[in-house]
Structure formats: structure tokens, C-alpha cells
Amino acid sequence: MKKIDEYQGKKVLVMGFGISGINAAHLLVKLGANVTANDKATPKNNDIVDDLEADGIKVITGDNPISLANEGFDVVVKNPGIPYDNPLVAAFVKQGISIITEAELGWQIFDGHLVSVTGSNGKTTTTTLTQLMIAENAKHQVKYAGNIGISFSKIAEDLGPDDTLVTELSSFQLLGAPTIHPHIAIITNIFSNHLDYHKTRENYINAKLNITRNQTKDDFLVINWDRDEWQKIAQRSQATIVPFSRLNKSHEGSYVEDGMIYWRGQEVMPTKDIRLIGPQNVENALAAIAAAKLSGVTNDAIKKVLTTFSGVRHRLQYVMEYQERLFYNDSKSTDIEATEVALQGFDRPVILLAGGLDRGYTFERLVPYFKKHVKAMIVFGECKDKMKDAGNQAGVPVIESENAITAVPEAWKLSEPGDVILLSPANASWDQFPSFEVRGDKFIEAVEELTGKKEQ
């Protein structure tokens, strides 16, 4: 951990009691700040409040009182999910008060080698693969943190100058990380996500590009080269560009040719040996390989990871096989693009469980994928009627269910030996579950209850 004094004696407000917010509050106390912690909800677990207060932190729950804007805070550390049009946040913006996220705080105290990953899809898998590959050859600690569910600042506290940290960073986190400077940055892809938060696609792209804003020619930007738009976006970085591509050969980076993965013209391994299924995971592997090779990782270490790693929880996670049916949990597919790539990963008939929060869009884009891959659909949640419309357009049998849990026995009734039962909702979970993780866990529990087996 790097010793810094910029928070010494400063008055800091931490907004949000998520894992990162709580860790940030305690860290700020160590850094000499006078800390107030605020959450709009009242925690069900009183231990959270007790622990904060025991550390000398003033705690305010149950509201984001606008009066806090008049208490002279020097810095606000905001939960990434709190939008900037939140009345209290907007008041701080108007006053010109520094508003950062916990990722910025983690970077400020980090004293080692930083690799950071962002993108619309594939962030978690790419982050995990990169960390595993670098760790295979490392003589020092290699950890991961960030949007992957582990506090950046908490892990950064325990790492030294020779250690490596691989961070997954969302657009929300990057908006509040003005000085972050990874030596290797990865952009997996950029679609049109979170426009309810960012308002425009250009705002969303700009937030993603904060990952490379402070990079120089001595740093590296590893970026997907499979679309012209992404190639143009890369030109907005000052870093050395390292492309990865499943579709276009580029000797400057990692690519696929005739079923073989190459790094700068040298063979690494066949794509068929990657344990993870689907073309999207070939892309995730290519991104991780580029970062790993830039970090000095051997081909043997890369092969070991890619031939054994079976997936991140909730991201096309293999759950089990039962009576010749395969169950997959892809609860983290919270947008159309993620479900598109999930469906492309299967050469068996799919019974698709989909639906969730209605964000106002329809699902015509999925119709060709339904026609090609899906034999039946179970739909649920706020947008079930829109999802049903797309299924009907594709000529796929569709039935309605209450949620992702009740859909499991319904899917089983429709299934036959050789089928895949896939939860890939194409929508956020917040209409029925507090997070995609909870939705995925409940789906797995329903599968276990149905089969009498534990996940594998």
C-alpha cells in the first residue's frame, strides 16, 4: 500500500453501503479523514452500522438528505450505481466538489502493476483469465478486484510494489476515477449498454475510455479489433495499441487463423482446446492472452489456464448434466448482446429462460438466434410480453412463468435428452431479484431441487 496524505484532515462523505463503500470508509479513516457514511436504505444488518461507528465514522441511513450538501465536504466517494442526477449528488456537482468512486481511491493507494479490464460484455471472464495466466508465471502476488465483486481498495491495501492487480472496471466506476493509470488496459467490446444512466452512447463510450485516458506510449491498450468502430475508438488513446481479433489477422497482437490462436505470428494453441464454450470466450481468451504475453507469461501457462478453467459463476456457468440435459447459468447476461453470444455457443437445442426488468427496448434482434438455436422459451418478469413477441416472431413455442425459479421445472417438462436448459435473461434482474448473482444462485438452487444433485 502506498502512503498518501491527501485525505489527512479532509471531510469525506461516502455514499452507499456496498462492499466497496464500507471498505472505502474504513480506509479513509486510516488515511486520516473525517468520514461520514450515508446510505439511502436502512441496513438490515446492524453490525454494518456498529462497525462503522466503532471506527469513528458518522452514519446516516434511510435517506440521502439534501442537507448533507451544506456540510462542507471536501470529497465525496460515491457508489458507482448512484446516478449523477441523484439530487444530493447533483448538488455536489453544482458546487464543484470532487466526486470519485472507490476505484479511484484504490488506485491512489496502489503501489504495484495495474492491469484493468472494461467493456460491455466479457469483463469478468477476461479479468479472471488474465489474473490466472499472470499468476501461473509470477514470483509475486497476483490478485483481482473491482467490479468482479471484490473491493479494489481493500485488495490494494495488502499489495506491494512488486505485486500485480487485475481490476474489472465498469463505466460507472470509471466515471469517478480521473487519475487511474493502468499499465495494461483491456477493452473487450463496446455496445450500447446503460444508456438509462449515461443518456447517450457517446457518453458511455467516453466513460469506457477513461480506462486509457492517462496512458502514454509506454503503456498498452488491448482492444477488440473485430469492428471498424472499435478500431476508430482505439485511435483516441495515447497508448501503444495491441489488437486482439477472432475475425481479422493482425501480427501486432493476438488473433485466430485456421482454428489456431497466434500471438504476433507465433502459435499459442488451438481454439478447440479452450474449455469455455462459445465464440465470445475465444475473444475473452484472446484479450487475456495479449495481456498475459505483454506481462511475460509463457505459452505453457496460458494453455494450462485455458484448458482447465470452466467459467465464471453466472457467466455461461456449467451447472450440471442430468438425464442427458445440460444446465447452464448465464444470469449475468443482462443485455441483448450477451444473450446473442450465449446462444451462439451451443450446437444442441436450447430451452431458453429469459426476461426481467423492462428498460423500454424490444427483442427483434434476437429473433434470428431464436430461430437457429432455441426449441422453446420460458419467459418471465416485466418484459415477458416483449420477449414472448420475439419468440412468436421466431416461431418458437413460448410459455410464461413467474420467475427464473419457477421456470426450471417448466423447462424440464419441455426438455428431451440432448437439450440445453439455459438461463440467459437478456435483461437486468431488478424487477424480481436484488442482483443477477441472486437470480443465478436461485436458478441453481431450483436445478438442484429438481435433480437432487449439487452443482458440479
- pLDDT digits over 336-385, tens only? 988 998 999 898 999 999 999 998 889 999 999 999 999 999 999 999 99
Residue 275 inside a domain? The answer is: yes
Same domain, 284 and 267: yes
> Residue 313's pLDDT band (boundaries 50, 70, 90)?
confident
Residues 6+ apart with CB under 8 A from 67: none
Residue 328 pLDDT > 80, yes or no? Answer: yes
Quote the pLDDT of residue 202.
Answer: 94
Q: Does residue 3 lie within any of the structural domains?
A: no
pLDDT for residue 129 is more than 80 = yes
**Residue 456: pLDDT over 80:** no
pTM of the model: 0.83
* 294 shares a domain with 160: yes
285: cell is 481468451
Note whether 117 and 91 are same-domain residues.
Answer: no
User: Which of 161, 305, 283, 295 lies closest to 223 in space, CA to CA?
Assistant: 283
424-437 per-position pLDDT tens digit: 999 999 999 999 99
What number of helices (H) and strands (E) belong to the chain?
A: 17, 20
Residue 6 lies in a domain: no
| Residue 178 CB burial class (10 angstroms; 0-12, 13-18, ≥19) | middle
Spatial distance between the Cα atoms of 41 and 62, rounded to a whole number of angstroms: 5
Predicted pLDDT at 53:
97
* Summary mean pLDDT of the chain: 95
In this structure, what CATH number is given to the domain that contains residue 49?
3.40.50.720
Does residue 278 surpass a pLDDT of 90? no
Report the pLDDT value the prediction gives residue 399, as an integer from 0 to 100: 97
- Per the annotation, binding residues for ATP are 119-125
Tell me how crowded residue 71 is: count the other CB atoms within 10 A of its CB: 11
Which residues is 354 bridged to in the sheet? 379
Distance from C-alpha of 290 to C-alpha of 308, rounded to nearest angstrom: 19
Would residue 418 count as lying in a domain? yes
Same domain, 258 and 381: no
Render 144-177 in DSSP notation, one character per residue: EEETTTB-HHHHHHT--TT-EEEEE--HHHHHT-
pLDDT of residue 251: 84
* 2 lies in some domain: no
Q: Is residue 245 part of a domain?
A: yes
Which of 244, 275, 308 delimits the end of a domain? 308
Q: Which residues are annotated as a binding site?
A: 119-125
Q: What is the pLDDT of residue 287?
A: 98
The answer to whether residues 170 and 39 touch, using CB atoms and an 8 Å cutoff, is no
Q: Could you tell me if 356 and 280 lie in one domain? A: no
CA distances from 284 to 8, 256, 258 (A): 41, 12, 18
Instruction: Determine the pLDDT at residue 34.
Output: 98
What percent of the chain has a predicted confidence (pLDDT) above 70? 100
Grid coordinates given for 354? 429469459
Q: How far apart are CA 194 and CA 202, in angstroms?
A: 12
CATH number, position 143: 3.40.1190.10
pLDDT in tens, 178-195: 999 999 999 999 987 777
In a domain, 225, yes or no: yes
Distance CA 314, CA 123 (A): 13
Q: Are residues 47 and 128 in the same domain?
A: no
The rounded distance, in Å, linking the Cα atoms of 191 and 118 is 12
Backbone angles phi, psi at 58, to 5 degrees: -75, 130
Summarize the confidence of residues 156-163 as an average pLDDT. 97
Secondary structure of 374-439 in HEC code, one letter for each residue: EEEEEEECCCHHHHHHHHHHHCCCEEECCCCCCHHHHHHHHCCCCCEEEECCCCCCCCCCCCHHHH
Looking up cell 469517478 gives 176
**Radius of gyration of the CA atoms of the chain, in A:** 23
Of 36, 167, 23, 166, which Cα lies nearest the Cα of 92?
A: 36
Grid cell, residue 145, equals 478486484
Closest of 426, 407, 431, 429 to residue 362, by C-alpha: 426
Q: What is the rounded distance in angstroms from the CA atom of residue 407 to the CA atom of residue 399?
A: 9
- Give me 38's grid cell: 450515508
Question: Which of 279, 308, 337 corresponds to the end of one domain?
Answer: 308
Cβ neighbors of 44 (< 8 A, separation 6 or more) are none
Q: Kindly provide the residue ranges of all beta strands, DSSP E only, lying in 231-280, ordered along the sequence.
A: 240-245, 254-257, 260-263, 266-270
Residue finishing a domain among 308, 329, 348: 308
Residues 174 and 300 in one domain: yes
What is the 8-class DSSP label of residue 348? S
Whether residues 209 and 356 share a domain: the answer is: no
CA torsion, ordered 294, 295, 301, 306, to nearest 10 deg: -60
143 lies in the same domain as 271: yes
CATH of residue 419's domain is 3.90.190.20
Confidence of residue 414 (pLDDT cuts 50, 70, 90): very high
- For residue 365, the 8-state DSSP code is G
Per the structure, the count of domains in the chain is 3
pLDDT digits (tens, 9 = 90+) for 199-209: 899 999 999 99
Mean pLDDT of 140-159: 95
CA distance 116 to 411: 39
**How far is the C-alpha of 288 from the C-alpha of 302, rounded, in Å?**
9
Rounded Cα–Cα distance for residues 152 and 168 (Å): 9
Instruction: Examine the domain organization and report whether 89 and 221 are in the same domain.
Output: no
> Is residue 456 a part of any domain in this protein?
no
Domain co-membership, 42 together with 121: no
Same domain as 121, residue 263: yes
Cα 63 to the chain's mean position, in Å?
28
Which residue range(s) make up the domain with 54?
Answer: 11-100
